[in-house]
Amino acid sequence: TTVAGGVTTNRSPEEQVKFDLLCAIIKCSFLPKLTGARREHCTAGHKNETPLVKQLVADSESTDVDTCFKVEAVCQPGLVGKAEKLYAKDSIDFLAFATPPAVEGEQEPTASLVGIEVKTRATPGTAQDELDRATAPSGDRQAYEVVDAGDVNFTRRFRDQHEAVQVLHHAYCYDLEHVLLLAGDRGANIIS
């Protein structure tokens, strides 16, 4: 018998650990109300989503920019739940029908569903930090690059662990092989 929140239950210690973990996950899924500068930055981010995705589409059609994906169509899906795991809910910014990059020695890729998560780096400092993350050790800027979730550089490409988990969550809920993290500055210019 375990006491949880003043309620007596008949959970084993292992069941209680699982229950406590699930409760912690659920608590983390609710965002606190934003105020002040944080609210202003969030509003700027939402306003930048569509212009940044339009720039991605334009870049993908250009022969001068290697976006790694050829984007053919884009939509905003709203809130969804994973069919076989109804507790897994997600609200991705955009879904695109896009062709991933070719891998040497493998069959030519075909177009598939690709997730797009858009982030605005609203201050000069966060924009510079993003530019630093998009710069390779050689000094070359890599606005668009493909990083595998198992790659040692995976976490380097994210501002923090929450963004990395968010992208992985999108991939899980939509069964996506690819999710693009599209980061721009307050002026809706793509950084990475």
Q: Where are the domains of the chain?
A: 1-30, 35-185
Kindly report the pTM of this predicted structure. 0.76
- Tens-digit pLDDT profile for the chain (192 aa)? 445 555 566 788 888 888 888 777 777 666 677 788 878 877 777 788 999 999 999 999 988 888 888 999 999 998 888 888 877 888 999 999 999 877 888 888 899 999 999 999 988 888 888 888 877 777 777 777 777 888 887 888 888 888 888 999 999 999 999 999 899 999 988 888
Distance CA 181, CA 3 (A): 42
- Tell me how crowded residue 1 is: count the other CB atoms within 10 A of its CB: 6
Distance CA 102, CA 108 (A): 6
Q: What pLDDT shows up at residue 1?
A: 47
Q: What pLDDT shows up at residue 2?
A: 47
Q: What pLDDT shows up at residue 29?
A: 64
Cβ(158)–Cβ(166) under 8 Å? no
Distance CA 120, CA 123 (A): 9
The radius of gyration of the chain from alpha carbons, rounded to an integer in Å, stands at 19
Q: What pLDDT shows up at residue 151?
A: 84
Report the candidate in 80, 111, 78 with the shortest Cα–Cα distance to residue 96: 111
